[in-house]
Structure 1
């Protein structure tokens, strides 16, 4: 790709909030049990349709099991028990979050994993093991990754497999999780990681010592994103680049919010004015890293591009992927329905027809936040359940990630 010129870039700090879980009569004997009972009683009442895929009997049995585990449970065990109860909503928006006190109690191995090209891969690792970047993770403590994923699945609220893996990747290095799942006996023990190197050599098993959350930031890491493509993820909430070699305007929209430093409505007006004056051949709208917010904010851009496309005839490609969730998925469908746009990339983390419009409460004992859905969105009554599938599927590759190439953008530019 030739050098591109930055037109608009806004940098902000984006705070992410993790999400939450509902009653039978049982004597409350400790604070942990009190929080479990509070969630059990209240979450089904507040959620718009908690039992749409869950039987009341199964949920009650899960509650009884959770209460039985509280007698000698740690705060982190409580957190995972609450997550497991909340996941009975079968709703990616309904989940349990972390408090600062809980974060301080977490331990993790110095590695992180991502699901790419049909396997779990090493995406971050302590620098001494840099050669394993991109390698396939075969097992953790001898447990095959398929088994680890199966055991962890009930703890991660999801309504499709794409979001499960995207969400799981954020906590798959926690040794507290390993202990809760029974693949480790203590969060402080050494963890063995079996990896098949990207080079295709023999499997390697390495030992990694868990560290606390405070110690984690002191380590030196290698990451497979060290070579970063210009069109890759950024801290900017929204920005635009001119990809000059193909007369293409690239617009990246990373969060469905407007920021005071550069209001979104002003950004949209700038984009539309630029397109009207410059006569582009192609426009890319990148929603791959957008986990949602307020879907209504992007409506003026959808409507404006619809009018300009009819006048000028440029193509519109909307890029989607595992990080496209909630309101961002709705924006993708708005482009699909109201412009002559093509969806390109990978299946979305969000489900096309989904629960959302979240609200939140805090548990009385621990202060742990619980989020829940208050509305059911049906974008297409005829659509199969699960992820929104692109019109043109282009999956990212390990080789491209390591070399700093944006697979989707590169392949689109080559096709123009």
Structure 2
């Protein structure tokens, strides 16, 4: 293992990085010390600087990530891309963290539950990882912890993995038996299942049973489908960006025309994969839907949210709540309704590390809560995932009393 601080020159290099961070991040962020005092944060960075001679590269990176995350703004974080990753993809279900994808040589671990790493239980590991993830609620942690678990440098920097190239992971297989496996890290370019994107994705090879709608066309920015048996249009909006191949304004016009001219009595907007972009792009659609009496009524309009619903995606959800009679179903959002955003980046001098930071504060809700909590909280279980079920859509289609107190206001 290479020690970056084995010489005075290495110490000086990282000391300069810390100086750059201490100078630039508070200057660039719109309100960096909104949660912690300047004195406390400067003192912590000074202590890190004093500790540099005894630290290794990944320990320093973990410490920087922890310091940035402690500011309390989920948009302000250290971007620390790995060179190697473990060849598994994980997802945190209601029951625990499971393997959803596995590279060749590890297929026997598919659909197993992760119980620990190198003799440490998963709860202890999650607690350690929490410190390096910028977050404002537990649902954003549920989104990001599985990704960090496959990041060898994070595990090494936190003291979870003594050797970042290989770790002993303990799983519980589908037969409820414990299995301990030596898992080797692979270069990112050689890893066929590297989770460079978070959230759930269809398993490969595809199962004989069709994927549920929430996993269909997962790589498309937006799409809709008519479900004639229920008189429903299902609209999945995965990112608040314009796709030049299918311009969003044209797509919106097509969908609005379909809603007006077809035998449709229910519209479902699925934002559970949407972690941001430009919230203004969907406003014309929201305004038009508001004027559709056959849709904008109790039981006619539903919006699905979840842990991935963040930033502009969450702002769009709030716009539906404030201007329509939508009923919200799913998980609490990973984004905070009132918080910082409009992100920019800068590179830490002399490194390949980047820091994101917020340039504006947004107040989008009268309630200052950590998450936007839907009207009906419905979580996905691992059993649902295996059986290709979507409990959220099932709840919507079986809703017996689609009325809420706010509709009376």
Q: Report the TM-score when normalising by structure 1.
A: 0.84
Whether contact under 8 Å (2:61, 2:157) holds in the other structure is no
Q: How does 1:295-334 map to 2 (within 5 A)?
A: 295-309=279-293, 313=297, 315-334=300-319
Does the C-alpha gap of structure 1 residues 75 and 214 become closer, same or farther in structure 2, counting only changes over 3 Å?
Answer: farther
Once the two structures are superposed, residues 299-338 of structure 1 have per-residue CA deviations (whole angstroms, 9 ceiling, x without a partner) of: 1111100101368857110000011000111100111111
TM-score for the superposition, normalised by structure 2: 0.85
Output the CA distance in 1 between the equivalents of 2:183 and 2:348.
35
Local SS of the residue matching 1:308: coil
* 2:31 aligned partner: 49
CA distance in 2, matches of 1:128, 1:311: 50
Point out where structure 2 has 5 or more consecutive residues left out of the alignment: 1-8, 195-200, 401-409
Counterpart of 1:90 in structure 2 is: 72
On the 8 A contact 1:353/1:380 being kept in 2, the answer is yes
Which of 159, 162, 169 pairs up with 1:193? Answer: 169
8 Å Cα contact 1:224/1:402 also seen in 2: no
Q: 1:230 matched to which residue of 2? A: 213
Aligned match of 1:64 = 46
**C-alpha displacement at 1:118, in angstroms?**
4.2
Q: Is 1:402 matched up with 2:379?
A: no
* Match runs of 1:1-400 below 5 Å: 30-71=12-53, 75-98=57-80, 103=82, 106-188=83-165, 190-199=166-175, 201-217=176-192, 225-226=203-204, 227=207, 228-232=211-215, 234-309=218-293, 313=297, 315-383=300-368, 385-400=369-384
Greater Cα shift, 49-58 or 269-278: 49-58
Check conservation: 1:225, 1:401, Cα contact below 8 A.
Answer: no
Count of equivalent residues: 379
1:24 corresponding residue in structure 2: none
Shift, 1:182, TM fit: 1.0
User: What does the per-residue CA deviation read over 1:76-131, in whole Å, with 9 as the maximum and x for residues that have no partner?
Assistant: 44433332221122111001224xxx54xx33322232211142222223455545
1:86 and 1:96 in contact (8 A); partners too: yes
Given that residues 117 and 169 in structure 2 are in contact (C-alpha distance below 8 angstroms), is that contact kept between their aligned partners in structure 1? yes
Equivalents in 1 of 2:190, 2:59: separation in Å?
21
Structure 1 position 73, deviation (Å) = 5.2
Q: 1:218 to 1:139 in 2, by over 3 A?
A: closer
Bigger drift between 393-402 and 27-36 goes to 27-36
